Amino acid sequence: MTIEMSEFARSLSRAGLRSRRPELTETELDREMLKQLYGVTLADK
């Protein structure tokens, strides 16, 4: 159940980011998700 909730929260975050930034490619969207989750420093490596 915990994993399902985590996956659901991540999918909501991704959908929200996609609605705010529809021009992003899938790769760019992945990078933005990493920035949100772990911070700019780790996402840029």
pLDDT of 1-45, one tens digit each? 899 999 999 999 999 999 999 999 999 999 999 888 888 766 565
Q: What count of Cα atoms within 13 Å lies in the side-chain half-sphere of residue 30?
A: 3
Predicted pLDDT of residue 37 = 84
Asked whether 37 and 30 are in contact (CB, 8 A), the reply is no
Entry pTM: 0.71
Total structural domains within the chain: 1
Return the number of other C-beta atoms located less than 10 Å from residue 33's C-beta: 15
Predicted pLDDT of residue 29 = 94
Predicted pLDDT of residue 40 = 73
